[in-house]
């Protein structure tokens, strides 16, 4: 099929191409995953182990690493069953238990979060890692502090404060109802703008409030572990980070 041929070509390209070229190829995969997470995961299945491997091995080019994490983030968030099978496949390759490999992936993700400069991708990373909660898996719990750190960083990126009410809102959210008003000197939206908007309405990055998601996931984790266990888990997080988190979640 056309998709398979495209994937084969991409796999060939990626073997011998500059970092900038890699990013351009990978961006196509990322956009495809944004449009159709399930279809694109299968379409680019042959290419994804290289992406996963790149993250685990700590890809040295920040822009490439950022794109890798964007792709893995999309799959983890929007096609979790495919992510599980990819993790199992990669665990065999690395001769590790899937849980152990997931831990390594999360560690690298937290460690290289600074490679991601786009707020959309940073929010995506937070939502993707939050999708692992609530969890009674010790590997995920060991990385809980890292997940919270990433979420607080992302909240700083996406939250804007309403000076009148003193509350925060996620500036990335797009709603269907919003019909922007155009002044005479502004261009009306192009067809491309309209397509972008439709795509955004399908995208968790633009439809899920990070603030709300963090709050709900922490509540679920607390419910799973009980107050005492959850308190112990929260104590693994830096007190300043917890303070910032409380500021963002204030009023929910």
pLDDT tens, residue by residue, 208-231: 999 999 999 999 999 999 999 999
| Largest interatomic CA distance in the chain | 63
- 193 is a domain residue: no
Averaged confidence pLDDT in the chain: 89
Highest-scoring range by mean pLDDT, 9-13, 67-71, 193-197: 67-71
Q: Is residue 123 very low, low, confident or very high in pLDDT (cuts 50, 70, 90)?
A: very high
112 and 124 belong to one structural domain: no
Q: Is the pLDDT of residue 240 over 80?
A: yes
Higher-pLDDT residue of 151, 186: 151
Q: Is the pLDDT of residue 178 over 60?
A: no
124 and 235 belong to one structural domain: yes
- 103 is a domain residue: yes
% residues pLDDT > 70 (the chain): 93
Q: Is the Cβ–Cβ distance between 133 and 221 less than 8 Å? A: yes
Q: Is residue 184 very low, low, confident or very high in pLDDT (cuts 50, 70, 90)?
A: low
100 and 130 belong to one structural domain: no
Q: Is the pLDDT of residue 180 over 70?
A: no
Residues whose CB is less than 8 angstroms from the CB of residue 72 and which lie 6 or more positions away in sequence, other chains included: 51, 52, 55, 83, 105, 109, 128
99 and 52 belong to one structural domain: yes
- 127 is a domain residue: yes
- 61 is a domain residue: yes
6 and 95 belong to one structural domain: yes
Q: Which helix (H) or strand (E) holds 134?
A: none
- 221 is a domain residue: yes
145 and 71 belong to one structural domain: no
Q: Which two tokens stand for residue 175?
A: 């709603």
Q: Is the Cβ–Cβ distance between 70 and 51 less than 8 Å? A: no
Of 12-16, 200-204, 225-229, the range with the lowest mean pLDDT is 12-16
Beta strands 168-170 and 159-161 are antiparallel
- 190 is a domain residue: no
Cα-based distances in Å from 119 to 38, 60, 251: 24, 21, 24
27 and 136 belong to one structural domain: no
Q: Which pLDDT value is given to residue 25?
A: 86
Q: Is the pLDDT of residue 8 over 90?
A: no
Q: Is the Cβ–Cβ distance between 152 and 245 less than 8 Å? A: yes
- 128 is a domain residue: yes
What three-state secondary structure class fits 238?
coil
4 and 60 belong to one structural domain: yes
Number of domains composing the chain: 2
Q: Which two tokens stand for residue 131?
A: 């999708």
* Domain encompassing residue 213: 119-173+209-252
Higher-pLDDT residue of 95, 202: 95
Q: Which two tokens stand for residue 30?
A: 């990322």
């Amino acid at each position: 099929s056309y998709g398979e041929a495209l994937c084969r070509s991409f796999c060939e390209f990626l073997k011998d191409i500059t970092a900038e070229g890699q990013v351009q190829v990978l961006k196509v995969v990322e956009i495809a995953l944004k449009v159709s997470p399930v279809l694109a995961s299968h379409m680019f299945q042959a290419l994804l182990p290289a992406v996963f491997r790149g993250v685990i091995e700590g890809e040295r080019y920040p822009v490439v690493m950022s794109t890798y994490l964007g792709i893995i983030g999309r799959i983890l968030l929007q096609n979790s069953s495919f992510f599980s099978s990819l993790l199992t496949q990669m665990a065999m390759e690395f001769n590790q238990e899937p849980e152990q490999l997931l831990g390594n992936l999360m560690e690298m993700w937290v460690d290289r979060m600074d490679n991601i400069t786009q707020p959309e991708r940073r929010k995506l990373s937070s939502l993707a890692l939050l999708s692992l909660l609530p969890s009674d898996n010790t590997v995920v719990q060991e990385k809980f502090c890292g997940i919270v750190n990433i979420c607080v960083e992302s909240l700083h990126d996406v939250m804007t404060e309403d000076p009148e009410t003193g509350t925060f809102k996620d500036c990335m959210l797009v709603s269907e109802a919003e019909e922007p008003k155009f002044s005479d000197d502004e261009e009306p939206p192009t067809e491309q703008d309209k397509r972008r908007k439709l795509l955004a309405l399908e995208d968790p990055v633009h439809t899920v409030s990070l603030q709300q998601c963090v709050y709900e996931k922490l509540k679920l984790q607390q419910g799973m572990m009980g107050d005492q266990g959850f308190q112990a888990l929260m104590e693994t997080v830096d007190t300043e980070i917890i303070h910032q988190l409380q500021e963002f979640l204030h009023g929910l």
